[in-house]
């Protein structure tokens, strides 16, 4: 992404609910071009590796971006080339997540809901607890570090599993610049992430 380029910051009008905010954010994403997504993905990979928690990690739990999501594929390859063990989610029938090792783009297969998943052995839902850092998909984050997810609940289960296991990986969300917003509607069980990475830079939060 050229220096100084930033996706247009759009004022999203919504009814104050998570569902309304999700609709507004997804509408903005739908207007992005393939070039926008590719440029942002390359910039995100560079920025993300400025985080010591990722650059120095032995194991990272990540995900494969699809559609107009902020791109993760360049980052997945960069981590793999560094010798990082990358775990990718495998969606189960009950919306929970299993995990498998990332072994390159040619080892990804089409799965339900338009997702891409690794074709290797399944490691079990608890495999995420071995990660030094967890990349969380999201639609927005606010100044407190509160993250707005897609609403499926899969990553709520992941975060609850980490808490039960006493695991404390760094929790990082990748977003477009315009998706760092003043406030995300939060519920009592929601907790902040540790950092957000956008094409323009990094921001840390305190838990």
Detail the residues annotated as belonging to a binding site. Answer: 18-22, 64, 69, 147-155
For residue 3, the SS3 value is coil
Q: How far is 174 from 82, CA to CA, in rounded Å? A: 20
Q: Which two tokens stand for residue 92?
A: 């189960």
For residue 48, the SS3 value is helix
CA dihedral (17, 23, 28, 30) in degrees, to 10, reads 160
| Residues paired with residue 133 on neighbouring β-strands, in sequence order | 60, 170
Q: How many angstroms separate the Cα of 52 from the Cα of each of 11, 97, 100, 161, 177?
A: 33, 26, 24, 24, 21
Nearest to 90 by CA among 52, 59, 54, 116: 116
Q: How far is 178 from 140, CA to CA, in rounded Å? A: 8
Please give the annotated binding residues for substrate, written as ranges: 64, 69
Please give the annotated binding residues for ATP, written as ranges: 18-22, 147-155
């Amino acid at each position: 992404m050229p220096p100084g380029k930033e996706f247009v910051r759009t004022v999203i009008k919504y009814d104050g609910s998570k569902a309304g905010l999700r609709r507004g954010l997804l509408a903005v994403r739908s207007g992005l071009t393939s070039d926008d997504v590719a440029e942002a993905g390359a910039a995100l990979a560079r920025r993300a590796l400025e985080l010591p928690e990722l650059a120095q990690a032995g194991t990272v739990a990540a995900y494969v971006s699809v559609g107009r999501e902020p791109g993760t594929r360049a980052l997945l390859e960069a981590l793999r080339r560094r010798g990082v063990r990358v775990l990718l989610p495998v969606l189960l029938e009950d919306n929970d997540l299993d995990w498998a090792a990332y072994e390159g783009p040619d080892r990804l297969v089409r799965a339900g809901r338009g997702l891409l998943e690794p074709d290797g052995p399944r490691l079990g839902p608890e495999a995420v607890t071995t990660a030094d850092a967890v990349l969380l998909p999201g639609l927005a984050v606010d100044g407190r570090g509160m993250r707005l997810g897609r609403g499926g609940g899969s990553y709520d289960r992941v975060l609850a599993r980490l808490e039960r296991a006493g695991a404390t990986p760094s929790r990082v969300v990748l977003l477009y610049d315009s998706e760092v917003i003043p406030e995300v509607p939060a519920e009592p069980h929601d907790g902040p992430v540790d950092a957000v990475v956008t094409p323009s830079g990094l921001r840390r939060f305190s838990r």
